[in-house]
Every structure is written in C-alpha cells, then in structure tokens.
Amino acid sequence: MANIVRAIGDRSIRAYIDPERGTVSRELYVNDDIFAQELEQIYQRCWLLLGHESQIPNPGDFVVTRMGTEEVLMVRDRKDHKIRAFLNSCRHRGMKVCRYDEGNTLVFTCPYHAWTYDTKGKLVGVGFGNYANAYTDTLPTGSEEWGLVEVGQICNFYGSIWATWDPKAPSFQDYLGPFAESLRHCLQSSDGEDAGLEFFTPFQRHRIPTNWKVPGFTSVTDLTHTAMTHRSAQAAGLHEDRGTGKETAKPFPQEKYAIGDHNLGHGGMCTFYDQLGVPDYANEWFEPGVDDYFRAQTERKKLLIADRIMPPHGWGGGHFAIFPAVMVDSWRIRYYHPHETGITERWSLFGVDKNAPDHVKDAVRHYAERFNGPVGFFESDDMENWNYVFPASQGATARKYDYFYRNGLGHGKYDDRLPGVVVNGSYTEEAHRARFSRWLAFMEAKSWDDLYPLNKSANHNIWPGVDGQASAKA
Amino acid sequence: MSETYNIKGQDGIQVFTDLPEGAQVTLTNGAVGTIIGNPRDGAFLEVTYSEHPDSSLVGADEFVFFNQVESAASK
C-alpha cells in the first residue's frame, strides 16, 4: 500500500489536532488533500459495512453497495452460495460491470467490450475472444489474474456483512474489540435470537452536502445537540415515541455514559446495566397488536438471558459508532459513505424481527419512515445542521478557527466492564475524541502493523487526563 | 419435432437473447452444447458441451459468445 501521509503546507497531520486545548482544525473537514489521504489511509484499511445477508437470500442475488467512494458488488454465488464482494469496475477498461442497484444474475457482463464475470468474480468470457490472434495467447478465459477485484476480507457477523480491502487487517471480531457483544445484541431479534433480523429494502439513501465526518463522527453520541436541534419537533409534539400513551417503564438499574475506545475508535452513548436479565416491556405502539407481540418476545428473551447482564447496546441503551462511520442501535443502522470532501451519501437500514407477523413489520416500517430521513419528522432537523456546517466552515476565514472538542476532557475513566474503553458523562464529547484518536492513528500508520489491535502495545489516545494519565505522544 | 431458432435474421439478437434453457446450440468450431443458463445480455450463453473438438471439454460448462454460435434449436 502506498504511503501518502504527508504534511499539508508547513503542518503535519498531527498538528491539526491540539489535544491539550481540546481542539480540532476545520481543515480536517474541508481540505481536499486530507480527504484524499483519508481514502487511502482509512477506507483502504478499515472494516466497512456492506449490508445484510437478508438483501441477497437467493443464489445469484446481488446488491450494489459502497466502500468509501467506490461501488462494490455484494453477491451470493450461484453454486456455493457464499457471499463475496467485488469492485464494480471491469478489469479491461474500468466500466461498471453492473448498473443496477440490485437483482439476480448469472454473470456480470461489461456493456463496453463484453468482458464477463461469474458470481465468484471469475472472468468467464470476453467479446470476440475466438477470433484469430485475439486474446488467445494473452488472456486465457477464466484467468484468475483478470477476475473482478475482490475485497481483502469479508465477514458475516450475525447477518451483517462487513469487508476490508486490506488482507492484513485484523479479524472483524478483533476490530470490534469489546463492542462485538454490543453489535451482536443489536442484530438479535426482540426475543434474543442471534441474527434474528431482516432489513427493509430498499434502504433509505440520500446525499448530503457535507463532509463525511460531520455526521459520521459527531451525529451519534452527541447528546447535547438535542437541546436545540430537535426543539421544534418536540414543541410540535413529535416525539421519538412510537405511540400515544406510552407506559412508563419500571425501574431497571442502569447507568448512561458517553464512552469511547481511543485505540479502536468505536464508542457512543451507551447504557451499562446493573441487573441481570431484561427490563419489563412497556407499551408504546399506536398500532393494535404490536405491543402484544413485543411483550411476548420480551418474555422469551427474559428466559434466554435471565442469568446474564445485557451488553451495552442500542435503543433504550443509547447507540454507538463503529469506526469509521457506522452508527448502530437495536432497530437501525446508519452509515455514511464519503463521495467528495463536501459530499456524503447516507444509508439507513431499518431492522425488524424476520419472523414477525406482517402487522408488526408494517408498524415498524411506518415508524422508521416517519421518524428518519429527509422527509421524516425528526432527522430532517439533523440534516439542516449537517448541510450548513460544511459551507460555513470552508471559507478562508472560517477554516482558521478550530472546532471545540473539550467538553468533558479530563474527566474520563477506564471501566472494567468494557476493558480499554473510556467512560465519561453522557453529555460529554468522549466518543468524538476517541474517533479522532483512532483517525490520527490511521492517518499516520504505515500499515496495520502500527495499529491496535495488531500492535497490542499501541496507545492511540492523544487526549490528556484519562484516569489522571498523560496522553500518548508522537 | 425440434424448433430452429433464427439467430442470424433481422431479429436475431432478440431471438438469441431469449433462447431458453435446454435448447441445443452448435458452435462455429463444431462443438454442440445444451444451454444451462442465459443471462439475457444478448452476448453470452452458458452451455454444457455434449460434443467438442477437444474431447476433454465434453461435459464441461462454459460461457460462449454470440459470434461462436452457429445455430440453435430446441431438443
């Protein structure tokens, strides 16, 4: 992998973050050169979410997804039924071999010169390949060398599909670290069955004119934004609840924190539970019969984990981010694909118990639609912020003034319940700072050998004051 | 009685695109195969060879380009 870490003008990458002051330069959000380096240093190495296995249940099914700025085909092979992922670019002249969002196919035929690939990515045909002297000695059909570019590693994690371009990256389980159980929990159905979800298709997808880190690093785990951003929705009586007359849940001992793993970059607003089992179900849905379903599911889940404490997880327990830009809670996953320095594509996936009856699936889908996205009543507030942050930060004057990331700095502590994770007050910016620790580590690292967890002695935390300890220095 | 598909006529591209699985094709090199998959891209067919000048390919599956196909007929 090419090492393109370089200074911008007379500043090193590290100089754009001032841990002692708790500030981050706006250049990180508006500078094209830094964006180009992020694509190489972060998006070529990190594990990235491709989608969910429920999108491609049948042999030959495919969806077009993304890894950073690039399109990727996620395909279930016709013969061995394994899921694979390939760059959507013909090896001959670079044309997209697939121009549909999803479908079922025998092969991907490039519309340019008919180079054709099977669902394992193998080149199985070229146009006019049988003519005298054409290709004959230079391109044996089926050549492994000229198949579609396959991802370096792929992982099916309880139904969610993740991939990295880097074959030397750590396993996805190790990449998640202590958040593996939290993600697993969020991918369970409401009765606690592993991989018990399916996701509504097509996903909500929209472009927003902002840098990917604006929503990707700060939208989740930013509890303070609700003070003003969602004030108007609350004034209109448009709450996050799913119905009128929501019951007040019985007390279930728990603690809410902003948490961040500075070595891994993951973290968010999470709830630590102090009691075994599952809270009692409290009615909350408009639609008849839905509460009955979820109450019965909750009773089953109680039996399943009666002797365990739930891992910190999503809805009701906050939500958390998987570095670099995936946001997870127990009913939705949102992720942010960079397109350009100031253009980001946002995808939202809404999960539902795959074995739920139709009236429950309908209710969940309706809730997702009215709550989320540009026409939802709640998230449109967020997008207004994201859309204006970028133009208001990229001017010659604006970019001289750093962003404030000092909220709660110096108050974080390590907690044995999630080893290696810094725990701080829920209205602090601990999770944001953790992402910048990891961001800088990736931007400076020559390879995964420099990065945790392959480098087990690494301390990527750049910020001072955790448990009274000094921060890591270059 | 087998049906012959006119893949060389004015509508030949569409006829080729719609060739059904199970139809038999004869290739320009004399090979004969049965269509086991048609991606309907107008370019390729997936066939299993029942006859082939290279006897090691009899029974093999391969994608063949349209200009390799001399004729097609139902079995």
Q: How far is A43 from chain B (nearest CA, A)?
A: 33
Span A364-390, average pLDDT: 85
Question: In the Cβ-directed half-sphere of A293, how many Cα atoms lie within 13 Å?
Answer: 19
Looking at the structure of chain B, the number of domains it has is 1
Nearest neighbour of A125 by CB, restricted to B28, B29, B65: B65
Residue A469 has pLDDT above 70, yes or no: no
Classify A423 in phi/psi space as left (phi over 0), alpha (psi -120 to 50) or beta: beta
Q: Which domain holds residue B47?
A: 4-73
Contact between A114 and B46 using a beta-carbon 8 Å cutoff: no
The span from the CA of A190 to the CA of A144, in Å, is: 44
Task: Please write the tens of the pLDDT for every residue from A228-238.
Answer: 888 877 777 66
Q: Is the minimum CB–CB distance between A105 and chain B shorter than 8 Å?
A: yes
Q: Which amino acid is at A407?
A: N
CA gap A327, A197 in Å, rounded: 17
Q: Report domain extents, chain A.
A: 1-47+172-474, 52-155
List of chain A residues whose C-beta atoms are within 8 Å of the C-beta of residue B29: 130
pLDDT digits (tens, 9 = 90+) for A444-455: 999 999 999 999
Segment among A1-5, A50-54, A185-189, A459-463 with least mean pLDDT? A1-5
Q: Which of these CATH numbers, 2.30.22.10, 3.90.380.10, 3.50.40.10, 3.40.50.300, describes A1-47+172-474?
A: 3.90.380.10
Average pLDDT over residues A401-421: 93
CATH number reported for the structural domain that contains residue B54 in this entry: 2.30.30
A120: DSSP letter: T
Q: Are A316 and A282 in contact (CB under 8 A)?
A: no
Q: Is the dihedral of CA A70, A76, A82, A83 positive or negative?
A: positive
ipTM of the complex: 0.89
Nearest to A106 among B46, B62, B64 (CB): B46
The two counts, helices (H) then strands (E), for chain B are: 1, 6
> pLDDT tens across A163-179, in order?
999 999 999 999 999 99
User: What does the pLDDT read at residue A8?
Assistant: 58
- Closest-CA distance of chain B to residue A347, Å: 30
Checking if the pLDDT of A197 tops 60, the result is yes
Which residues have a Cβ under 8 Å from the Cβ of A203 and sit 6 or more positions away?
Answer: A51, A347, A348, A349
Whether the link from the prior residue into A464 is cis, omega within 30° of 0, is no
Residue A472: its pLDDT value, please? Answer: 54
Long-range CB contacts for residues A293-302, cutoff 8 Å, separation at least 24: A293/A356, A293/A357, A293/A360, A294/A190, A294/A360, A297/A189, A297/A190, A297/A191, A297/A353, A298/A190, A298/A191, A300/A191, A300/A192, A301/A190, A301/A191, A301/A192, A302/A277, A302/A278
B46, closest residue in chain A (CA to CA): A106
Contacts of B46 in chain A (CB under 8 A): 106-107
Tell me if A125 and B63 make a contact (CB, 8 A cut-off).
yes
Residue B43 with chain A: CB contacts under 8 Å: 109, 114, 116, 125, 127
Q: Å from B75 to nearest chain A CA?
A: 22
- Share above pLDDT 90 across residues of chain A, in percent, rounded to a whole number: 72
| φ, ψ dihedrals at B33, nearest 5° | -145, 165
Residue range A52-155, CATH number:
2.102.10.10
How confident is the prediction for chain B on average, in pLDDT? Answer: 95
